[in-house]
Amino acid sequence: MALKAYVKGPLPGPRSRELFARWAKAEAQCTGYQARVAWDHALGVVVTDVDGNTFIDWTSGVLVTNVGHCHPHLVQTVQAASAKLLNNYECLHEARVNAAERLVSILPAHLDKCFFLTTGAEATEGAIRIMKRKSGKFEILSFYGSFHGRTYAALSAGGLPGPKRGFGPTAPGSLRVPYPHCYRCPFRAKPETCGMLCLDFIDDSLRANSTGSLAGVLVEPYQGTAGFIFPPKGWLAQLERWIRERGLLFALDEVQSSYGRTGKMFAMEWEQLQPDLVCIGKGIGSGVPVSAIGARGDVIDALGAGELGSTMGGNPVACAAVIAVIEIMEQEKLEENALRIGGIMKSRLLTMMERSPFVGDVRGMGLVMGVELVKDKKTKEPAPDLTRKLIDLAANHGLLIGSVGGFGNVIRVAPPLVISEAEAHESLDIFEKSLAQL
Ligand SMILES: Cc1ncc(COP(=O)(O)O)c(C=O)c1O
């Protein structure tokens, strides 16, 4: 089997170096740390840079290209759609109707309507708007470590420092409680014996912080940006029960967890959750900018004319992409592939954790996993410097990885869902070799 990764010499190559220098002069450098590689083109799981080096991609952009980079069916669909109609704002076109029907057809039955937007933040911001509008209340409960985007209501609900620094005051009514982060539990409890005390703590926190005007809860099924933090089994179902007992609205942020990432089309399927609203982004367009809110009709219909919309939302090209992506996911059974290859990858990563002094935790499911790097496994002191070193080492061996986490010390293992077993092993070999060189 021919290997896919090939790096000619130390990175960045000459063309990449030149582009990085020009870029630093022309555009603000406020994006996160990435390998010093300027992408040229990509197909499936392989990225080729401007110097002709090839890499296996564990980033999928940022969990976007679920059907693989530049999938031919998606590319052809987008080309045909853009030749026909590029934009029409809110005037109706058939692709929008078809896409809405198709999206609703794959959502759980109780979510019988949807609405198209462009970014994930627009979807979460929209969900917050709908919860306030429907309930007539203004407080939103969210979680420490959460990330819902960088617009105002979304970042106010967020629980990470980066997007908020210097941006206060945040929106009134933003209430946050701890997410079940079992590797770094804020209560210093053990998952085997804690009885999910973080759920009980919500009532305590609300007694102290709420004015009694709680509209609803916004939560991620796993926290991506915080470092791929997965709640213990049953926690989300118990949270849903807690929400229902109090008559609140329930919005699930599946901007990154949907479209097969966890091994099911939507992560909510694992615990048969029935949120009132689900925010969808990233994989829905697999590279084409589109997002959506899936909703119970009686909840989203609280919005009147002109109360939600966006210049690019529901444009014909995005809508054509929505349908093509679903077709690819179904035809290529990408949920199944995510589960099967994810299982193979996780078991090898767990073996690496035992051998490496720096891998403190490996967590996740399907093709979304986090590898947390620490200076010392006992103290769990985060190792962001080693993480950046690992990103560079891996790139030099032909593997593209990125980092996330409140401490910038978690490697994202999130390749496109089309990854084959051979590509998984080749990339894991590179990762193992890079870890050994830390
Ligand atoms: C869970 C979640 N919600 C919302 C967003 C924001 O999406 P966007 O960057 O498209 O606005 C992200 C992006 O990473 C996300 O992971």
User: Mean per-residue pLDDT for 39-55?
Assistant: 98
pLDDT tens digits for 305-329? Answer: 999 999 999 999 999 999 999 999 9
Token pair, residue 278, equals 């689900």
Token pair, residue 313, equals 């939302």
Spacing, Cα 289 to ligand 1 middle (Å) = 12
The alpha-helical segments, DSSP class H, found in 287-420 are: 297-300, 316-331, 334-355, 384-397
Indicate whether residue 251 lines ligand 1 (CB < 6 A). Answer: no
Spacing, Cα 291 to ligand 1 middle (Å) = 10
Q: Exposed (0-12), middle (13-18) or buried (19+): which is 305, by Cβ within 10 Å? A: exposed
Instruction: Give the neighbor-by-neighbor strand order of the sheet with 359-365.
Output: 359-365, 368-373, 410-413, 402-404
Query: How many alpha carbons fall within 13 Å on the CB side of residue 332?
Result: 23
Indicate whether residue 149 lines ligand 1 (CB < 6 A). Answer: yes
Token pair, residue 300, equals 């989203």
pLDDT tens digits for 328-379? Answer: 999 999 999 999 999 999 999 999 999 999 999 999 999 999 999 999 999 9
User: Mean per-residue pLDDT for 372-394?
Assistant: 97
CA distances for 385 relative to 30, 145, 380, 427, angstroms: 18, 21, 14, 22
Spacing, Cα 193 to ligand 1 middle (Å) = 33
pLDDT band at 1 (very low <50, low <70, confident <90, very high): low
* Cα separation, 27 vs 297, whole angstroms: 42
Mutate to test the pocket of ligand 1, among 148, 266, 280, 293 (most ligand atoms within 8 A of CB): 148
124 CA: nearest ligand 1 atom? 4
CA 75, 288, 303 angle in degrees (round to 5)? 140
Indicate whether residue 119 lines ligand 1 (CB < 6 A). Answer: yes
Mutate to test the pocket of ligand 1, among 160, 219, 255 (most ligand atoms within 8 A of CB): 255
Q: Exposed (0-12), middle (13-18) or buried (19+): which is 392, by Cβ within 10 Å? A: middle
257 CA: nearest ligand 1 atom? 1
Position 42 pLDDT exceeds 80: yes
Q: What does the pLDDT read at residue 67?
A: 98
pTM: 0.97
Q: What is the C-alpha radius of gyration for the chain, rounded to an integer number of angstroms?
A: 21
62 CA: nearest ligand 1 atom? 14
Beta strand 410-413 with 402-404: parallel, antiparallel or unpaired?
Answer: antiparallel
* Residue nearest to ligand 1 atom 4, measured at CA: 148
Indicate whether residue 253 lines ligand 1 (CB < 6 A). Answer: yes
Spacing, Cα 354 to ligand 1 middle (Å) = 32
DSSP assigned state of 161: S
Indicate whether residue 407 lines ligand 1 (CB < 6 A). Answer: no
Listed residue (119, 72, 66) closest to 260, CA to CA: 66
Spacing, Cα 155 to ligand 1 middle (Å) = 10
Q: Exposed (0-12), middle (13-18) or buried (19+): which is 93, by Cβ within 10 Å? A: middle
Indicate whether residue 220 lines ligand 1 (CB < 6 A). Answer: yes
